């Protein structure tokens, strides 16, 4: 393939990565194609078999070695810092969509949106039960039964700076 062909394939793969949700797979194939294109463009002429072999090796090695750490880094950045706007959900009341045992993950409706929730209650929570949001991690809300929940104003100020206790 010509260097321009490799560069075009690389750009198409990188563009496809932006359109396809999650994964971070096409990214590494796109970067490998761009690398092969640049190597070929700057005069390190190789046979077609060597280009394909280099593309495959770069794709697989980078995918295996870099995908996990990159996903973990991205996931850490998805968690909102304490005091951000998403924390305003702490203290709100959600309607549980399904029965949850302690520590289980399920769904609940809050402000007209269905959220992933994790039960922090000591006992099971029933479907349809009103629950208090006690924390937010990423897009998962931590909830307890409304009777177990803290005073909404105290829970909402939990992560605030300068709260007067």
The values of phi and psi at residue 11, to 5°, are: -65, -40
Asked whether residue 19 is domain-assigned, the answer is: yes
CA distances from 118 to 107, 127, 145 (A): 8, 14, 11
pLDDT of residue 37: 92
Q: Has residue 161 got a pLDDT over 60?
A: no
Q: How many Cα neighbours within 13 Å face the side chain of 54?
A: 20
Q: Among the three residues 78, 101, 133, which one is the final residue of a domain in this structure?
A: 78
Domain extent at residue 144: 85-156
Whether 104 and 58 share a structural domain = no
Whether 47 and 65 share a structural domain = yes
Centroid of chain to Cα 20:
14
Count of the separate structural domains present in the chain:
2
Residue range 142-157, pLDDT digits in tens: 999 887 654 444 434 4
Q: Which of 22-31, 57-66, 70-79, 130-139 has the highest mean pLDDT?
A: 57-66
* Residue bearing the bigger pLDDT, 164 or 3: 3
Whether 70 and 98 share a structural domain = no
Dihedral (Cα; 136, 142, 144, 145), 10-degree rounding:
90
Whether 89 and 126 share a structural domain = yes
Q: How many Cα neighbours within 13 Å face the side chain of 116?
A: 8
Whether 68 and 97 share a structural domain = no
113-119 and 140-145: which strand pairing?
A: parallel
Q: Among the three residues 16, 43, 78, which one is the final residue of a domain in this structure?
A: 78
How would you label 113-142 residue by residue, b for 16+ Cβ within 10 Å and e otherwise?
eebebbbbbeeebeeebebbbbbbeeeebb
**What's the whole-number average pLDDT of the chain?**
82
pTM for the whole structure: 0.49
Distance CA 26, CA 34 (A): 12
pLDDT of residue 153: 41
Asked whether residue 164 is domain-assigned, the answer is: no
Distance CA 157, CA 163 (A): 7
How would you label 40-57 residue by residue, b for 16+ Cβ within 10 Å and e otherwise?
beeeeeeeeeebeebbee
pLDDT of residue 32: 96
Whether 61 and 120 share a structural domain = no
- The arithmetic mean of pLDDT across residues 21-49, rounded, is 88
pLDDT of residue 154: 40
Closest C-alpha among 75, 52, 59 to residue 27: 59
**What CATH number corresponds to the domain at position 93?**
2.40.50.140
Whether 93 and 71 share a structural domain = no
Q: Has residue 164 got a pLDDT over 60?
A: no
Q: Has residue 81 got a pLDDT over 60?
A: no
Whether 138 and 111 share a structural domain = yes
| CB neighbours of residue 78 within 10 Å | 9
Asked whether residue 145 is domain-assigned, the answer is: yes
pLDDT of residue 30: 94
Q: Among the three residues 46, 78, 110, which one is the final residue of a domain in this structure?
A: 78
Residue range 82-139, pLDDT digits in tens: 555 555 788 888 999 899 988 899 999 988 889 999 998 888 898 889 999 988 888 8
Whether 69 and 92 share a structural domain = no
pLDDT of residue 163: 42
């Amino acid at each position: 393939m010509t260097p321009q062909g490799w560069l075009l394939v690389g750009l198409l793969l990188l563009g496809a990565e932006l359109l396809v949700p999650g994964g971070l797979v096409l990214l590494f194939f796109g970067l490998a194609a761009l690398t092969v294109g640049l190597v070929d463009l700057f005069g390190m002429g190789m046979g077609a078999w060597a280009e394909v072999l280099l593309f495959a090796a770069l794709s697989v090695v980078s995918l295996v070695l870099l995908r996990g750490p990159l996903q973990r880094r991205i996931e850490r950045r998805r968690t909102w810092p304490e005091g951000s706007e998403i924390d305003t959900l702490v203290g709100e009341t959600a309607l549980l969509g399904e029965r949850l045992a302690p520590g289980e993950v399920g769904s609940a409706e809050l402000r007209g949106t269905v959220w992933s929730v994790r039960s922090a209650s000591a006992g099971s929570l029933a479907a349809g039960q009103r629950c208090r949001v006690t924390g937010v991690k990423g897009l998962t809300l931590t909830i307890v039964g409304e009777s177990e929940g803290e005073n909404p104003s105290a829970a909402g100020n939990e992560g605030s700076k300068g709260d007067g206790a």
